Amino acid sequence: MALIRVENLSKTYITGKNIETPALRDINLTIDDRDFVALAGTSGSGKTTLLNLLGSLDKPSSGSIFYEQQNIAQLNEQQVADFRLNQVGFIFQAYNLINTLTALENVEYIMLLQGVPAAERLDRSRDILKRVGIEKYINNFPNQMSGGQQQRVAVARAIVARPKVILADEPTANLDSRTAENLLDLMLELNQERQTTFVFSTHDPMVMDKVKRIVKLKDGEIIS
Amino acid sequence: MNNTFVKIAWRNILRNKKRSLITISAVGVGLGALIFIWSFAEGAHNQMINNYTSYVIGPVQVQAKGFQKNPKLETFVKDSPAVLNIIRQNPDVAAVSPRIQAEGLMGSSDSSMGTLVIGVQPQLERQVSKLDQRVARGQFLDEGDDNSVIIGKDMADNLGVDLQDKIVFMSQALDGSIASGAYYVKGIIQSGVTEIDKGLAIITYSAAEELFVMDGKPSQIVVQLHSASKSDAVAEQLRQALNNPDLEVLPWKDVSPVLQQWLDYDNTFIWIILIIVMIVVAIGIMNTVLMGVLERTREFGILIALGTRGRQIIQMVTYESVFLGLIGTAAGLIIGLGSSHFFSRTGIDLSVFTEALNSMYMESVIHPDINFKYVWISSGVVLLISIFVSVYPAWTASKLKPVDAIRSI
């Protein structure tokens, strides 16, 4: 069953003196519920742009993105914030944890915005941090953890709020291969355990080996 | 939820301790200086009021209606014993002293000059004014010194007289006759106030009664209070108690509006300083918060990407300003109140300006006086400013586009 349906999606950036730089051209794509899919391509292929549009971090120049039949390209500011809060989880290449919060507080943050009661929030955060193998570091701040540990916290933060889809932008790019493989295995397990859809943007062959489906992009177009 | 925003805001302040400390110091020193300036001005103003009222005019005066505008002998207080009796019944009244006041010509063998003569009852006058304490040479009047006069130093110099020398006063008496009397200089006042040192002569009340044919007809009744700051309230109470349309009860600021105008003028300058300090404080806080926001563009982008709403971002940034403002205000209160309290005990010695200070009814040593009304106003304004200046940085942060913000370094 389709969770996300992209129709005729284009994104053009205007840079400098009205110079138009097309990043995506007429993309049509369907992502199914519980999918574990990679948007693959070289640098500049448009994979991160597509991922940002799927997560409503950016607005398309034209076309539609249907998330469970709702066109998220037409949401207003408040609705976009709600969508990001409740439907999507993000994992960034540079981890992007909040530096002033501990691992536990980072994981709690989204649930806190969702209004989850404190006790439940704490239980779920501890459970997920244990699940991703960070239980020893729950009171550490991001700068007190390694890259792999931070990315595990980022995975925990993305999944703990129970979104239907997690968008991961080159999550293994800053990790060594062993840590990257462990993390991918963890995400695959979570995909199976929790039926969470994962969409990666990547050019890492290891990620492409692990995913169930690969969508290849080149110069802003899907080539396979 | 607010707790987490408070936590983030607080930790952001701790994240750049040096910058936060500089901002807190700017706020603290600014507010501290302001509180101290208010206290210094309050101390100086109180000194001016006390000296001004205690030298000659007193905190409250009771006069016949019209005397204030046009002081002449015919405008005297009728039935003065009864009036004095009513005034003395007020619990805030410490002492009362009737005076006769007239203008005339004072002359010596060498020179003559216009002067204001007041006739006082020496014992009572000591209770309502400090004129006796300003006698630099010789002595103040005693009861029965009906042939003696106290004059200012400048007048003595102008007339070319010294202690024990004879001077003559001429004016017109109440009955229209020539009022003329010869007096020996018993004391010379040196107050530093030009009007007193140059233009005032003091004789006994009984001598003035005889000179001006004013038996039992005082020109004014000077009222000394236990607390000079109650002058307005006591004046109103006496007005009601006397209930006499032929009398005017005037607090010092109505007897001599010039001083009040000067104090108002001085306060205006303090308000200008307040505004300047506020601008400095505002720029300091805004600089810190704005720098903090710009530095954390990426972090705000992440927060927005995670679903944080614009108003929550505004809340978070505002908390930072409030924290800076609160800590800065606390530091300012400690600095301002501490320094004011310390100098209120030791005094600030400005002897190098003695002459100028005395001419403005101030003394060489000024003791700051903390007026909490101004402390709360200054602190409140600093706090409000600290919240107000966060609006722009907070709004800027709330409007960031996550995709651009996350890309920024």
Report pLDDT digits (tens) over A31-81.
999 999 999 999 889 999 999 999 999 999 999 999 998 999 889 888 999
Residues A40 and A78 in one domain: yes
Residues A185 and A205 in one domain: yes
Q: Which two tokens stand for residue B172?
A: 């017109």
Residues A106 and A80 in one domain: no
Flag if A85 and B306 touch (Cβ within 8 Å).
yes
Which residues on chain A are in Cβ contact (under 8 Å) with B4? 101, 105, 108-109, 112
Q: Quick check: is A112 in a domain? A: yes
Instruction: Please give the pLDDT value at position B409.
Output: 54
**A56 φ, ψ to 5°?**
55, 30
B347 close to A (CB below 8 A): no
- Please state, in angstroms and as integers, the Cα–Cα distance from residue B176 to each residue in B101, B204, B208, B216, following that order: 16, 21, 15, 17
CATH of the domain at A61: 3.40.50.300
Flag if A113 and B305 touch (Cβ within 8 Å).
no
Q: What ipTM goes with this model?
A: 0.89
A1 has a pLDDT exceeding 80: no
Helices (H) and strands (E) in chain B, counts: 16, 12
A85 close to B (CB below 8 A): yes
Distance from CA of A141 to the nearest CA of B (A): 11
Residue B149 is which amino acid? Answer: V
Rounded to an integer, the average pLDDT of A184-193 is 90
Instruction: Please give the pLDDT value at position B390.
Output: 85
Rounded to an integer, the average pLDDT of B266-286 is 83
Distance CA A84, CA B334 (A): 47
Q: What percent of chain B has pLDDT over 70?
A: 99
Distance CA B363, CA B333 (A): 27
The SS3 assignment for A117 reads coil
A94 has a pLDDT exceeding 90: no
Flag if B4 and A105 touch (Cβ within 8 Å).
yes
Instruction: Please give the pLDDT value at position B118.
Output: 94
- Please state, in angstroms and as integers, the Cα–Cα distance from residue A201 to each residue in A5, A34, A50, A79, A213, following that order: 17, 17, 9, 25, 12
Residues A11 and A119 in one domain: no
User: pLDDT tens digits for B356-383?
Assistant: 887 777 888 999 999 999 899 889 988 8
Distance from CA of B328 to the nearest CA of A (A): 22
Distance from CA of B308 to the nearest CA of A (A): 7
Longest CA–CA separation in chain A, Å: 54
Residues A178 and A82 in one domain: yes
Minimal Cα distance from A98: which residue of B?
B299
Q: Quick check: is A93 in a domain? A: no
B406 close to A (CB below 8 A): yes
Burial of A55 (0-12, 13-18, 19+ CB in 10 A): buried
pLDDT band for B285, please (50, 70, 90 cuts).
confident
Rounded to an integer, the average pLDDT of B344-362 is 84
Kindly provide the b/e burial profile for residues B110-132, where b requires at least 16 CB atoms within 10 angstroms of the residue's own CB: eebeebbbbbbbbebbbebbebb
Least CB–CB distance from A100: residue in B11, B309, B310: B11
Q: Quick check: is A141 in a domain? A: yes
CB A153 within 8 A of CB A145: yes
CB B224 within 8 A of CB B96: yes
DSSP string, A136-162: GGTT--GGGS-HHHHHHHHHHHHHHT-
Spans of all domains in chain B: 2-52+260-407, 66-244
Full domain range(s) for residue A132: 98-155
Mean pLDDT for chain A?
91
Residue with tokens 């990790």: A175
Residues A151 and A170 in one domain: no
Q: Quick check: is A192 in a domain? A: yes
Residues A62 and A113 in one domain: no
Q: Quick check: is A114 in a domain? A: yes
Q: Write down which residue in A137, A155, A173 finishes a domain.
A: A155
- Please state, in angstroms and as integers, the Cα–Cα distance from residue A125 to each residue in A90, A100, B207, B308, following that order: 16, 17, 97, 19
Flag if B12 and A100 touch (Cβ within 8 Å).
yes
Q: Write down which residue in A117, A137, A155 finishes a domain.
A: A155
Flag if B307 and A90 touch (Cβ within 8 Å).
no
The SS3 assignment for B144 reads coil
Residues A6 and A72 in one domain: yes
Strands (DSSP E) found in chain A: 2-15, 19-32, 36-40, 62-67, 70-71, 88-91, 165-169, 197-202, 213-218, 221-222
Distance CA B22, CA B126 (A): 55
B311 close to A (CB below 8 A): no
User: pLDDT tens digits for B134-187?
Assistant: 899 999 999 999 999 999 999 999 999 999 999 999 999 999 899 999 999 999
Least CB–CB distance from A57: residue in B8, B303, B403: B403
B12 close to A (CB below 8 A): yes
User: CB pairs below 8 Å between A and B: how many?
Assistant: 62
Flag if B4 and A109 touch (Cβ within 8 Å).
yes
pLDDT band for B1, please (50, 70, 90 cuts).
low
The total of structural domains in chain A comes to 2
H-assigned helices in B53-163: 80-88, 122-128, 153-159
Residue A51 is classified by DSSP as H
B401 close to A (CB below 8 A): yes
B15 close to A (CB below 8 A): yes
Q: Which of A48, A57, A83, A167 has the most B C-beta neighbours within 10 Å, making it the best mutation to test the interface with B?
A: A57
B239 has a pLDDT exceeding 60: yes
Cα A130 to its chain centre, rounded Å, is: 21
User: pLDDT tens digits for B6-65?
Assistant: 888 888 888 888 888 988 888 898 899 889 999 999 999 888 888 888 778 889 999 999
Instruction: Please give the pLDDT value at position A39.
Output: 95
Q: Quick check: is A25 in a domain? A: yes
Q: Quick check: is A92 in a domain? A: no
A82 close to B (CB below 8 A): yes
User: pLDDT tens digits for B250-262?
Assistant: 998 888 888 888 8
Residues A112 and A144 in one domain: yes
Flag if B11 and A101 touch (Cβ within 8 Å).
yes
Residues A74 and A183 in one domain: yes
Flag if B307 and A82 touch (Cβ within 8 Å).
yes
Q: Write down which residue in A123, A139, A155 finishes a domain.
A: A155
Distance from CA of B283 to the nearest CA of A (A): 25
Answer yes or no: pTM beyond 0.90. no
Tell whether the torsion through CA atoms of B145, B163, B129 and B133 is positive or negative. Answer: negative
B307 close to A (CB below 8 A): yes
